[in-house]
Homo-oligomer: A and B are copies of this chain.
Amino acid sequence: MNAQSNNSSNNIASLPTSAPPSSKGSVQSWIYDQIFAAILEQRLAPDTKLAEDTLGEIFGVSRTVIRAVLQRLSHDDVVEIRPNRGAVVASLTVDEVRDVFEARRVIENGAIDLACKRRKKSDVANLKALVESEQEAFEGNDRGAWIRLSGEFHLALAGIAGNKALEDTLRALVSRTSLAISQYETPGQSACSQQDHFAIIDAIDAGDMKSAQQEMTRHLAECEAKLDLDEQEKGTDLRTIFSNIRTGNDKSETL
């Protein structure tokens, strides 16, 4: 029905991909980055249990620091902490996925508005370079890098808007989008096309705000459409299955 969390220990055991503790930055941040990346790059599936002890052994630290990391991850909504029952990789309901895309439409169109007004020459060039890297990763089948770079394009766009608050807000939504993709993507379809990204850049470069917003709206709608949201809904939600049953206490209300 939904993603299974079998052989979970194997999944978790393959976590520390890159360098050891690393010189700069705290160990805690390093562990945070490792787990975050593992989730976004879909090496850890939704609903996978993240046991404190196991993670502590893997990273060579005590549960104390793992607890702190898991708490940070839960703030970013990529991990869910259930009181007394531990942490799991977050899984989104269909409605939550729809909300995330809708919220992104609002925020990213706002960001485009600002970006068109504040863009500098170098911004557009940087943006193009980013999407080219993205394309390389895609063609080289480096799925992890591709997902990451795809998100970074949207964040870079918000960066040009020059509003940290908006950018931070979008960062949370972008990572939730990655989660949604890993949970609902249809096997063949690639979720996010570089052509769309180039089209948005061109419109911004030309200073055509309206057109850029239309492209963005279309792009997000397309990404959402590529997900298998209807199927899952039927399978997961009992209410939907029995939606033909009426019980009298129907509190729907319309203006």
Contact = CB atoms under 8 A, between A and B. Distances in A.
Interface in A48-91: 67-68, 71-72, 75, 83
Measured as residues with beta carbon below 8 angstroms from the partner, the interface class of chain A is: 20 to 34
A163 B103 contact: yes
A157 interface: no
A165 B96 contact: yes
Contacts of A166: 99, 102-103, 106
A94 to B, nearest CB: 13
Contacts of A176: 165
A164 B176 CA distance: 13
A129 interface: no
Given A71-B68, A110-B107, A165 B100 contact: yes
Given A165-B96, A165-B176, A173-B165, A255 B103 contact: no
Interface in A119-137: 119-122
Interface of A: 26, 67-68, 71-72, 75, 83, 96, 99-100, 102-103, 105-107, 110-111, 113-114, 119-122, 163-166, 169, 172-173, 176, 253-255
22 contacts: A67-B68, A71-B71, A71-B72, A72-B75, A96-B164, A96-B165, A99-B163, A99-B166, A102-B163, A103-B163, A103-B169, A105-B110, A106-B106, A106-B111, A106-B166, A107-B110, A107-B169, A120-B254, A121-B255, A122-B253, A165-B173, A169-B172
